Amino acid sequence: MTNDDIDWLRLQKALAVEAEKGFVDLVGKQYRFSEFLCLSFGKPPATLSVEERRRWQEMAMQFAEYHQMTQEERQSLVAAARRCLHLSQQVSEQQHLYALGDIEDKETRRQGGQGSNSSHQPPATSHSSDFPLSSTGVQMCAPTDSRIIQPKTSTLVSTKSSEINQRLAPSLEQPLTRLPEIGARRGEILAKLGLYTVRDVLLYYPRDHINYARQVKICDLEAGETATLVGTVKKCQCFTSPRNAKLSILEIVLKDNTGQIRINYFFAGGRYSHRGWQEQQKRKYPPGAVVAASGLVKESKYGLTLDKPALEVLAHPGDTIDSLTVGRVVPIYPLTEGVGADMVRKAVTTALPSLVHLKDPLPKALRDYYGFVEVREAIANIHFPADTDALELARRRLVFDEFFYLQLGLLQRQYKARQIANSAVLSPSGQLVEKFYQLLPFKLTGAQQRVINDILNDLKKSVPMNRLVQGDVGSGKTVVAVVAILAAIQSGYQGALMAPTEVLAEQHYRKLVGWFNLLHLPVELLTGSTPAAKRRQIHAQLETGELPLLVGTHALIQDKVIFQRLGLVVIDEQHRFGVGQRARLQQKGESPHVLTMTATPIPRTLALTLHGDLDVSQIDELPPGRQKIHTTVLSSKERSHAYELILREVAQGRQAYIVLPLVEESEKLDLKAAVDEFQKLQESIFPQFQVGLLHGRMSSADKDEVINLFRDNQTQILVSTTVIEVGVDVPNATVMLIENAERFGLSQLHQLRGRVGRGAAQSFCLLMGNPKNETARQRLKVLEESQDGFFIAEADMRFRGPGEVLGMRQAGLPDFTLASLIDDQAVLEIAREAAEKVMEKDPTLQRWSLMQAELTYRYQKLMGGTILT
């Protein structure tokens, strides 16, 4: 009997109709259902194995006794027959395709005269597991023994027949609308999720998984856990609620040898009250049927139950579970209105066979060295893992990929920048730098000197410097920047220093004027508040080269600002500028050296992600004599203690800050609160002292006046919003009281705290608030117990996420699908190491064209080009 002698569709339809009608042994035109199945299974296809044909004969004998069976036995037999038929059809069709493949191969050999091995020779495979990569033997396509998990049966299908599989499976770029299993209507719905092709679906990873793979006995169920149980239906009833005519209830009681459990489903709507529909539900789960149920265990008035579990009827207690949601690790996908989970899962199962077209861009030597699974196995298991171990291996590989291509792109960008050898070569030693060292009233710390050496070594090269200097509040970054600026000036070039706010720009200008006057060098300040006449004068002096250094805000990137010979760009708090703004300032010169600084400590994982193409130096040492700031968390009930401390310090001639939060969504409300608080403090709490008010909505002139009064100690207490976070330097201030401290991020609190402790006297920071939960209390405790900005930044990232640490909502961060900068730090470190090793071997990636193609795809698709702008 050939494959064509079996009408597979007719057999499956007969089984489906019998199940739908309640296993009544339907009567057809020629035969009863049982007679038709007995005859059909009595003639198995010749393409089946001996074992499969034996199973068909046994099935035929069982259908011969169908009329004597109970309802439960009939249901089990029909279920077994459907599974047997499904598997046999797959085997038969595969054998048929093998035959066709042999015919095509013979025809090809006859026409082309080529040996049979010429088109099937597998690529050479590296037998070395060492890494770094060797230049030969790197396998660039999928290994011939790789396997793909088939989700419905969780079996492994070998790619031994990869050519046949590739003929059958849709291409990765095949539109979903052209797949028969999806079609135009479903394809349009899936497009709402951005899913247009088979590749899109394969790379649409679940956002989470629910573990139903753990199978337990009823007596071992525990509330709050997810589990799967297999039991026998003791009772099943479906009825309309006596209290609500539009509510129907399906109640199933399952039992095993350890106990029983009641499961209820509720259906709202008049159509569910139809008696025919209710009877149909009861026929699905007749008494005696074996059912697998997966769900969340919850307490109910009847004891433990499963909340809306997924169910599958089995042939017997040890039967294989075929469902996509029962007894397995179930993927949970991001959805949108109108797109259901079942539709996405169906699309994924349809797309999975196309993994045979996917070649792994990572060389086998690299995968073996780090213990990563092959990419096809990873993608299959991220969607439908056999168990939690398979899921973890899959996720680790795919998270690595996201980090690896990011790091590879950043390192390639750095490599390409270093190939441009047209920057100014600056002299690290000279009269100006030496004279500046002599002017300093203090000795540089070892960390400052180390960072200066890093910078001066960069400036000696014609390759443009691109270095980030990280340093905690008060670590002395400005002095380091001045040395670099003087190296540029003494070499005949100009410098530019850009800060994000006028307050910070003015603070830098004030420091630099003091030093530059002693060195007989002019320096100017350019901000949005600079008068037009002064602005024109600055523009003219820049163009002629008379002005060697310009300090300013965003005003520096205006078109009218033209440098004669810009050799060095210094950007402070650079994360507050956009990529485009930083680039525009660099374009004011011909490949100028770039030094960026930040007083906001950045965790290493975040630094690698944002600044992986930069050289990083860290000033990890505070100047001698700086005392630890005594930090205390207070509740609002302890406000009197805070006022007593302020009163004591101010009475001794020192000064204090009182900071109020500023929330963007309610800026006017908070402004009013600041004004009210200022008036109350001046009139009622500290009438004997002068209290000042500073907030972001004041004009620049008014801000300057308030800051100058405070700096000159004409104002003893300054009530302020967060505008004092950076740039205000008053060594006489020893107390910082921060109201509603729980509303700030830890890094921002650490920055605010840095406004005190800048002199020799003991300083204090009081964090006042009423945290509403334990997490908020723990956050403030971090500040109380640590002065280490990098430790605080790490903690802040864990509490609030990476985007908020820098005072931004994911700006400039790549949009990772699976990877987490908080949970996957170890994988990020591995990815960086691997990317560095690849770049050492071949920075152009010519050896690994698939890797280069994947890198290009990732930056266009995943990162949106933001990193490489």
Tell me what the mean pLDDT of segment 635-639 comes to: 87
* Range of weakest confidence among 43-47, 73-77, 194-198, 702-706: 43-47
Q: How confident is the model at residue 144 (pLDDT cuts 50, 70, 90)?
A: very low
pLDDT number for residue 587: 80
Predicted pLDDT of residue 65: 82
What is d(CA 206, CA 213) in angstroms, rounded to the nearest whole number?
Answer: 17
Count of CB atoms situated within 10 Å of the CB of 497: 26
Residue 336 pLDDT > 90: no
Q: What is the pLDDT of residue 698?
A: 81
Model confidence at 757, pLDDT cuts 50, 70, 90, reads confident
pLDDT at residue 72 tops 50: yes
The predicted structure's pLDDT at residue 868: 36
pLDDT higher than 70, residue 7: yes
Question: Among residues 523, 531, 529, which one has the least CA distance to residue 553?
Answer: 529
Question: What is the maximum span of the chain, computed from C-alpha positions, in angstroms?
Answer: 112
Q: What is the mean pLDDT of residues 610-628?
A: 76
Residue 518 has pLDDT above 60, yes or no: yes
Which range of 686-690, 696-700, 742-746 scores highest in mean pLDDT? It is 686-690
Instruction: Give residue-wise pLDDT tens across range 764-783.
Output: 999 998 887 787 888 888 88
What pLDDT shows up at residue 578?
58
| pLDDT confidence of residue 376 | 94
Highest mean pLDDT among 129-138, 198-207, 501-510: 198-207
Residue 95 pLDDT: 56
Q: What is the mean pLDDT of the chain?
A: 81
Q: How far apart are the first and last CA of the chain?
A: 65
Cα–Cα distance measured from residue 48 to residue 3, given in angstroms and rounded to the nearest whole number: 10
Between 72-81, 324-333, 604-613, the lowest mean confidence (pLDDT) is in 604-613
For 712-734, the pLDDT digits (tens) are 999 999 998 877 766 577 889 99
Name the band, by pLDDT with cuts 50, 70 and 90, for residue 805: low
Between residues 326 and 485, which one has the greater pLDDT?
485
As a whole-number percent, the residues of the chain with pLDDT over 70 amount to: 83
**Number of continuous H segments (helices) and E segments (strands) in the chain:** 28, 22
Share of the chain above pLDDT 90, in %: 32
Least confident of 272-276, 643-647, 772-776: 772-776
Q: Give the SS3 label for residue 607.
A: helix
pLDDT score of 121: 34
Q: Report the pLDDT value the prediction gives residue 769, as an integer from 0 to 100.
A: 85
**What is the band of 533 on the pLDDT scale with cuts at 50, 70, 90?**
very high
Report CA-CA distances (Å) from 166 to 93, 97, 286, 494.
Answer: 15, 12, 43, 62
Above 70 in pLDDT, residue 457?
A: yes
Higher-pLDDT residue of 830 and 315 is 830
Which domains are delineated in the chain?
3-112 (no CATH), 209-332 (2.40.50.140), 431-460+476-598 (3.40.50.300), 630-786 (3.40.50.300)
Q: Smallest Cα–Cα separation from 646: which of 633, 638, 655, 637?
A: 655
- What is the structure's pLDDT at 451? 94
Query: Given a cut of 50, is residue 110 above it in pLDDT?
Result: no
Encoded tokens for 769: 């608030």
Confidence of residue 104 (pLDDT cuts 50, 70, 90): very low
- Position 233 scores a pLDDT of 94
Query: Is the pLDDT confidence value at 631 over 60?
Result: yes
Mean pLDDT of 676-692: 89
Q: What is the pLDDT of residues 158-168, one digit of tens each?
A: 334 455 555 57
Q: pLDDT value at position 361? A: 95
**Alpha helix ranges (H) inside 471-501:** 477-490
Burial of 684 (0-12, 13-18, 19+ CB in 10 A): exposed
Q: What is the pLDDT of residue 312?
A: 85
Count CB atoms within 10 A of the CB of residue 560. Answer: 11
Using 50, 70 and 90 to split pLDDT, how confident is the model at 811? very low
Greater confidence (372 vs 300) lies with 372
More confident call, 324 vs 557:
557
237 — pLDDT class (breaks 50, 70, 90) = very high
Q: Which residues pair with residue 231 across a beta bridge?
A: 291
Span 186-209, average pLDDT:
92
Highest averaged pLDDT of the listed ranges 32-46, 111-125, 339-353, 798-812: 339-353
19's CB contacts (< 8 A; 6+ apart) are 75, 78, 79
C-alpha to C-alpha distance for 258 and 252, rounded to whole angstroms: 17
